[in-house]
Amino acid sequence: MDTSFLFSGINFNRKKFAEDFARFEGKKETHDKAYKSNSVENRNSGAEELEGSKPAKKRKRTAVVSEQVEGFNVFKSSNSASASATTTEQEDNGHLKSKKEMNRRIERDALLRKKHNIHISGSNVPSPLQNFAELSSRYESESYLLCNLAELGFKEPTPIQRQAIPVLLSGRECFACAPTGSGKTLAFLSPILMKLKRASKDGIRAVIVCPTRELASQTTRECKKLGKGRGFNIKLMTKELLKSADFSKMPCDILVSTPLRIGFAIRKKKLDLTRVEFLVLDEADKLFELGFVKQIDSVVKACSNPSILRSLFSATLPDTVEELARTIMHDAVRVIIGRKNSASELINQKLVFAGSEEGKLLALRQSFAESLNPPVLIFVQSKERAKELYKELVFDNIKVDVIHADLQQTQRENAVDNFRAGKTWVLIATDVIARGMDFKGVNCVINYDFPESAAQYIHRIGRSGRAGRKGEAITLYTEEDAPFLRNIANVIAASGCEVPSWIMALPKMKRKKHRPARDSISAHPKDDQE
Ligand SMILES: Nc1ncnc2c1ncn2[C@@H]1O[C@H](COP(=O)(O)OP(=O)(O)OP(=O)(O)O)[C@@H](O)[C@H]1O
């Protein structure tokens, strides 16, 4: 294995230190074994490559005890014969004791990670949290945060919170992939609040970018709840703010925005992000898609503080995004909960053949007539189809509403609020609310239109089965969708749900996106609709 990356930036004379180098090689092997046994995903050692591929930047970091620090310590001592000669017995004992303690800690961490299905890669990964109380005992959190967590009813950290919070608190960048509804928002919000400590007038210190306005608004609300009583200025980048705010004077500790709005503010309103200490890209894979990547690039560039901590969170993080992320992150720790890119195991998933477009409407009507267990969320592939299906269901005397990008902001907000409040039983939606939206009690998600990708499927159905609750997902398909069944069936089977064997035997589809032109939903002739 090529180890040259370990020495990038150091003028190391290999010839002169050949003996030491050979010894180090031996040590490294031992270390690698320890590293493997500590549940590090070796297949995904991207974070390590990342560290080596770029010269280390000067950054203020909190020291963390770690497996790898141990490796380097041993290297140092074996390098110096005279030093070892003068080592006293007392020092030896001390060293042995701390080594034992460290081994115990490594073992404890590994067990905790195994219990919670936490997989990590990267060097010097801090111990996962045993409980929220450790925020105070290990990281000196102010009491307001623990009070707020208790008030929100959060007793135990979720797996992603157990590992991602210590990673960010120890000053490390984080690349995190955890199932939908598993508490990723709190995993990035709490370290930010803890690190910022208190409100200041020194300019924006944290930026959170979310792909949709609804999600940005929800994240702002969660942030305010968690930071309650601390006086932080937490701002959502709204259209009004964008129009009227004087950003140079606006007190703001944490700014939450969509990529388009923050991109506009950087270009046209001279938004100063040079003091930003934390940048979170939530639903990161979406943000790296073509429509957003230019804005994200401008945000990353504008956040020019050399000690910035960047983190990426999502339930789906494809390898291509990881590769792209490596170009902007350094010394990152990769945290994966369960299997990467998989659906929440709390959701009972079914595929239902409906034959044709007409058959889909019949199937939906029939299932609602037999039993309607609200709240139900129905996804369709376009705003036109959302409007069409809405018109159909309104006739059926169902408390139904619709949300898509053609509606005004207040209409979109009302649709979400009414659904949350139980005033609406069925919400028809395009993918504007497929990501990140937290509707606590959604009993069933119906994919009326077959999702265009496995990632889209995972996010859509992830609106149910959240925060430990069970959920259901029904995906209707027609002949047209059949060639793409296998992609979704793989996700369903991987999360433990049954899939007919003939579907699993279908060939895999190379082209990943599926968005066919579909027949109109309407059961009425066009003229009848007006
Ligand atoms: N420690 C906890 N204990 C109990 N509930 C929690 C805890 N942390 C978060 N939650 C709740 O879990 C729900 C889902 O959290 P969140 O919206 O952060 O999920 P997510 O992982 O970001 O999902 P998505 O991938 O869909 O965005 C929320 O209602 C949140 O309040």
pLDDT in tens, 233-258: 999 999 999 998 889 889 999 999 99
- Is residue 161 within 8 Å of residue 187, measured between CB atoms? yes
Q: How far does residue 183's CA lie from ligand 1's centre (Å)?
A: 3
Mutate to test the pocket of ligand 1, among 156, 163, 184, 416 (most ligand atoms within 8 A of CB): 184
- Is residue 439 within 8 Å of residue 463, measured between CB atoms? yes
Which ligand 1 atom is the nearest neighbour of the CA of 157? 1
Structural tokens at position 207: 């930026």
What is the mean predicted confidence (pLDDT) over 500-518? 79
Give all strands (DSSP E) within 388-435, no chain letters: 400-403, 426-429
- Is residue 147 within 8 Å of residue 284, measured between CB atoms? no
Q: Residue type for 225, please?
A: K
The pLDDT, as a whole number, for residue 18 is 47
Q: Which residues, including other chains, have CB under 8 Å from residue 397's CB and lie 6 or more apart?
A: none
C-alpha 359: how far from chain center: 36
Ranked by mean pLDDT, which of 208-212, 500-504, 507-511 comes out on top? 208-212
* pTM tops 0.90: no
State the DSSP H helix or E strand holding residue 121, giving kind and residue range, or none if neither.
strand 118-121
Helix residue ranges per DSSP H, 116-212: 134-137, 143-151, 159-169, 184-196
Mutate to test the pocket of ligand 1, among 182, 212, 347 (most ligand atoms within 8 A of CB): 182
What is the mean predicted confidence (pLDDT) over 470-485? 92
Helix residue ranges per DSSP H, 228-356: 239-244, 259-268, 284-287, 290-302, 319-326
Question: What are the pLDDT digits (tens) for 299-337?
Answer: 999 999 999 999 999 999 999 888 888 888 888 999 999
Torsion of CA 71, 76, 80, 83, to 10 degrees: -100
Q: With a cut of 60, say whether residue 201 has pLDDT above it.
A: yes
C-alpha 191: how far from chain center: 15
Which ligand 1 atom is the nearest neighbour of the CA of 156? 1
Ranked by mean pLDDT, which of 10-14, 24-28, 82-86, 299-303 comes out on top? 299-303
Structural tokens at position 94: 């001390």
Q: Nearest CA to 485 among 461, 464, 504?
A: 504
Sign for the CA dihedral angle at 213, 214, 216, 220 comes to positive
β-pairing, 309-314 vs 118-121, is unpaired
Q: With a cut of 80, say whether residue 465 has pLDDT above it.
A: yes
Kindly indicate the confidence band of residue 104, based on its pLDDT and cuts at 50, 70 and 90: very high
- Give the span between the Cα atoms of 114 and 108, in whole angstroms: 10
The pLDDT, as a whole number, for residue 397 is 85
Q: With a cut of 50, say whether residue 145 has pLDDT above it.
A: yes
Q: Match 């949350």 to its residue by tokens.
A: 420
Mutate to test the pocket of ligand 1, among 130, 186, 336 (most ligand atoms within 8 A of CB): 186
The pLDDT, as a whole number, for residue 46 is 30
Structural tokens at position 396: 């059926």
Which ligand 1 atom is the nearest neighbour of the CA of 154? 3
Which ligand 1 atom is the nearest neighbour of the CA of 314? 25
Mean pLDDT (the chain) is 83
Beta bridge partners of 177: 314, 336
